Amino acid sequence: MNITDVVKQVDDKRDELIELLTKLISYKTPAPPARNTKEAQSYIARLLESYGFETDMWDVYPNDPNVVGTLKGTNRSGYQSLIINGHIDVAAVNEDEGWNADPFQARCGEEFITGRGAADMKGGLAGALFAIKLLREAGVEFPGDLVFQSVIGEEVGEAGTLECCKRGYSADFAVVVDTSDLQIQGQGGVITGWITVKSKQTYHDATRRQMIHAGGGLLGASAIEKMMKLIGALQELERHWAVVKSYPGFPPGTNTINPAVIEGGRHAAFIADECRLWVTVHYYPNESYEEVAKEVEDHLLQVAKADRWLRENLPTFKWGGTSMIEDRGEIFPAFEVDRNHPAVHSLVSAHREVTMKEAKVNVSPTVTDGGWLADAGIATVIYGPGELTEAHAVNEKLSVDQLLDYTKVMVQFIYEWLHTKKESA
């Protein structure tokens, strides 16, 4: 079997690949509302089983299962293993959006496939699945293990990938087939947090004069107004980070602190005794969410201790979460691409051979579940078809030519990496 012949089959079987993507788009899996992926995941499980994989399917949330397929290698201890990871959920579709047709009925023209999830990221799932199908139909046996993960919840921070890691799935390398315009990428990270200012006492609004005017004698304050001081402190920290921190590939000041949502007060007859601020913090690939959260806390606590009222009513913090739907919180860990990793070299080589262009190795301006794989100690990259401007867009579309190129690269890369001996072997 000549791997070049298998790569050429991608063009010959173009219609089959487009049919597969059309089928995946037809499953309505937007998140929110989520809890709607079981049918799509069952379909992927059947596909994997038809390719000879052993499948593991379990509910992360009701009607939202993960699917992991494992194809055990013929010489597992001696050859490299691979995880291919992608999410089955897609961005929400609102009724008033100006789609030209049903978002879940893909339309394929000469240049583009249009439909919700085409770019983000059912195109990546379809290309990777089709590459595996072609390799298996050609009778290829892999010496190393191949693990395929179709996960839920990425669009709403529910980290189906983290659940795969907790279940013990691992490999020598992982490719997250998310939207990257065929660039090999790492990513910065995101963590959300709740900052709460809460008074130890509750006061009638008629006592406000005693809190703010000479001789009032009442050490009280509005939690909303004190939160304003902390928001100012967050802006100062954000500007400080922009000066002292940087990372190649990111414009200065990409590490932002967004005061996204504020909640507070009871009603007009009370001095506000509690205020909660929901923030989103973006940080660089060489930082961890734990250390960034601690930097924010330490800065705000220093500011609070310099305030006569806040030092007696220090802010509290709750970071992260497992779902933007269930507990209004999420974490996307950052990770860096190891340019010297042999799998990265192999992927760069496959990209060059197929596209006749040098691969761009850089950082994604957005985030994916890949951080959880890297957090578990697995060397990871993002590599998928689709332009980021199309992700979540009305009339979302994917270039047919790019989908074909992507599938060819994956055929070549999967074959080469799983036939690569471990260094210790």
Helix (H) or strand (E) segment spanning residue 225 = helix 223-244
Q: How far is CA 47 from the centre of its chain?
A: 24
How far is CA 28 from each of CA 17, 106, 414, rounded to the nearest angstrom? 19, 12, 29
The DSSP bridge pattern shows strands 173-176 and 380-382 to be parallel
- In CATH terms, is domain 189-319 a member of 1.10.10.10? no
Catalytic residue among 120, 145, 154, 390: 154
* pLDDT for res 425: 52
DSSP per-residue string spanning 372-415: HHHHTT--EEE--SS-TTTTT-TT-EEEHHHHHHHHHHHHHHHH
* pLDDT for res 196: 98
* pLDDT for res 213: 84
* pLDDT for res 214: 79
* pLDDT for res 357: 97
Mean pLDDT per 10-residue interval, the chain, length 425 residues: 92 98 98 98 98 98 98 97 98 94 95 98 98 97 98 96 98 98 98 97 86 82 96 98 97 97 94 96 98 98 97 97 96 98 98 98 96 98 98 98 98 98 79
* pLDDT for res 316: 98
* Known active-site residue 56: no
Nearest Cα to 194, choosing from 307, 292, 321, 309? 321
* Known active-site residue 11: no
Q: How far is CA 245 from the centre of its chain?
A: 23
* pLDDT for res 91: 98
Q: What angle do CA 22, 71, 66 make, to 5 degrees?
A: 55
224 bridge partner residues? none
- Prior bond of 143 cis (ω within 30°): no
- In CATH terms, is domain 3-187+335-418 a member of 3.50.50.60? no
Domain ranges in the chain with CATH number 3.30.70.360: 189-319
User: What pTM does this model have?
Assistant: 0.95
Going through 161-290 in order, the beta strands assigned E by DSSP cover 173-176, 184-187, 189-198, 257-264, 274-283
Is-contact 350 416, C-beta < 8 A? Answer: yes
Nearest Cα to 342, choosing from 381, 300, 299? 381
Domain ranges in the chain with CATH number 3.40.630.10: 3-187+335-418
